[in-house]
Structure 1
Amino acid sequence: MDLNGFDCSILDSTNCLLGEGPTYDPETDTLWWFDITGRKLMEHRFGDGHSASHDLPFLCSALAVADGGRQVIACEKGLLERSPSDGALTNIVGIEADNETTRSNDSRVHPCGAFWVGTMSKFGKENAGSIYHYFRGELKPLFTGITVTNAICFSADGSVGYFTDTPTGKVMRVPLDPQTGLPTGQAEDFIVRTLDHPGWADGAVIDADGLMWIARWDGSCVQAYDASGSVVETINLPASQITCPAFVGKDASRMILTSAAEGISEQRLIEQPHAGMTFMIDRRVNGRIEPKVSL
């Protein structure tokens, strides 16, 4: 497909309804991500270029790797352990499992191994979501009254956490205990949306240089922010609803972006046939491998 004018290529041409939650496993050189509303787990093996999709019984949004190759999936029922060999799912802990109106959304592993898991309403209800902290068998609520949880990421030393409630236009920064991933102070504004920030903050990662890369939903790009919260780079992409970045490659030197086709009118889909596809940025980056979750 023609991507002239864009500094990216197509990693996977599947038009996901809501592509999200990309996670790279360096031990198997495999990228995993989700089509949340399509109830599918997507897989791309870099070794042979093979892509596949796996049906899921629930709305799932994020994956983390644990020791022994075990996978942990955040879904509308809570956290599940998944066997990569046969796809078998077993329950770890319920998260809002008795609430049929919410589901998991953006989630990420802290450097200590704690898993921050965000939730949100399935139906757009305001302030229905929360962010939870799971660490070695214990689940704790951290932040409540969130409409759309996104941009969960952490500094390399684990001393700072970030997140957003997307409709607010603000990315928050909170001090953390590096040993536990728990807050040690109040969350404060880090980035406040301006005309320099197209669209809305969605998923985010922090690279080895401390830059925060934020996917811009309805902004057709990914942007890099420095420690002051200033934009230092914008990379335009051939889809409007860019959802989440991830570093891939055993040296974490490449970056991919997921996207979504959900909610785009038929006319706009004709104008942007790449909506929902997964993209690879053409140039190298200085990324970081995600930590493993501690069960």
Structure 2
Amino acid sequence: MNNMNVEAFSVYKAKLGEGPVYDIQLNKLFWVDIEGKKILIKDLDSNSENAFETPDLVSSLCIISEDEIIATIRHGFYIINFRTKNVNRIGEVEVDYEENRFNDGKCDALGRYWAGTMNMKKSGPTGNLYRFEKSNITKILSGLTVSNGLGWSPDNDVMYLIDSPIRKVYAFDFDLNKGEIYNKRVLIDFNGEPGNPDGMTIDEEGYLWIAHWGGGRVSRWSARGEKVFEIKLPVTYVTSVTFGMHEMNRLFITTASKEDEPLSGRVFTTHVNVKGIPSYRFKKL
């Protein structure tokens, strides 16, 4: 699958594109430009593209409804209403850790928001993983450098998490009802792979799709940690990936800008012969 037809999809060119989320009910793709401090929305029915400015570095989001999302911005969880333009902080972590900020985050099948933090200087394992539900923030895991790509197996028995600079993809036993993780182990060691593991998504067959930051590709891995193929992109800094369209068989891939790469920073897309798992919405009180 190295020579798949990968096309530039977005008009918007991000400084640091990340966190793509496709909402099947709205038929819209959402993603963020962390350094550009923007949330981007592409309506796949009309092909229109809109940007919403955020007050600080925005790193991930989950859909709540047609008008509302929840997003991680610097140290906080924020509810954003696109219709009223209201941005309301509803929780904060690590306000004393100036070197830390939120990074990747996703909602699980019961609508809880899992989001991790990172050390912006990558100088130490000061990052943590949090679970946000019913206005309660719980620290689940510590000792991460850059908490990144999150995902769950189709049966919700396993949760996956990436720590990018140490090039590890972890697997945990996952208790969906309790929202707890156990038995941390290394599923994939990226040593020998081009670039570092960044964002990821899971398909309905339980395979992991991982973006290679600095490696110019997305790779697909089995639940046993075996690489089965990769898709090369015309840009170096590939940041994350998700499935979309009503058939859930199209990849949307976010990237970051690089000065000598004219297509860098755009969202790319390609059709694949497997379906993804639809993203889950955040469940408010």
After TM superposition, give the deviation of residue 98 of structure 1 in Å. Answer: 4.1
Task: Provide runs of 4+ in structure 1 moved above 4 Å.
Answer: none
Q: Does 1:186 align with 2:175?
A: no
> Partner letter of residue 234 of structure 2?
P
What are the ranges of 5 or more consecutive residues in structure 1 without an aligned counterpart?
Answer: none
User: Could you tell me which residue of structure 1 aligns to residue 80 of structure 2?
Assistant: 82
In the TM superposition, what whole-angstrom CA distance separates every residue of 1:201-257 from its partner, at most 9, and x where no partner exists?
A: 000111111110000111110000012110111000111110000111123221100
Question: Can you list the C-alpha shifts for 1:163-212, whole angstroms capped at 9, x where unaligned?
Answer: 121111111111111213211x22101001242x2211000111111110
Structure 1 residue aligned with 2:123: 125
* Pairing partner for 1:286 from 239, 261, 275: 275
Say which of 220, 229, 232 aligns to 2:216.
220
Identity %: 27
CA contact (8 A) 1:207 1:287 kept: yes
C-alpha distance in 2, partners of 1:207/1:180?
Answer: 24
> Residues 145-184 of structure 1 correspond to what in structure 2 (within 5 A)?
145-183=143-181
> Secondary structure at 2:175's aligned position in 1?
coil
Moved more, 285-294 or 230-239: 285-294
Q: Which residue of 2 aligns with 1:49?
A: 47
Task: Provide TM-score, normalisation by structure 2.
Answer: 0.93
Contact 2:217 2:233 (8 Å CA) reproduced: yes
Q: Residue 10 of structure 2 aligns to which amino acid in structure 1?
A: D
Instruction: Output the aligned Cα RMSD.
Output: 1.6
Structure with higher helix content: 1
Contact 1:111 1:156 in 2 (8 A): no
Structure 2, unmatched stretches of 5+, are none
Greater fraction strand: 2
Q: Report the equivalent of 1:32.
A: 30
Task: Using the TM superposition, give the Cα deviation of residue 6 of structure 1 relative to its aligned residue in structure 2, in angstroms.
Answer: 5.4
Letter in 2 for 1:109: C
Aligned length: 282
**Rounded Cα–Cα distance in structure 2 between residues aligned with 1:153 and 1:280:** 20
Partner amino acid for 1:79? F
Post-superposition offset of 1:53: 1.5
Change (3 A) 1:27 1:69: farther
TM-score for the superposition, normalised by structure 1: 0.90
Q: Which amino acid aligns with 2:187?
A: F
1:242 is matched with which residue? 238
| Residue 262 (structure 2) pairs with residue 273 (structure 1) | yes
Q: Equivalent residue for 1:70?
A: 68
Q: CA 1:118 to 1:200, structure 2 compared with 1: closer, same or farther past 3 Å?
A: same
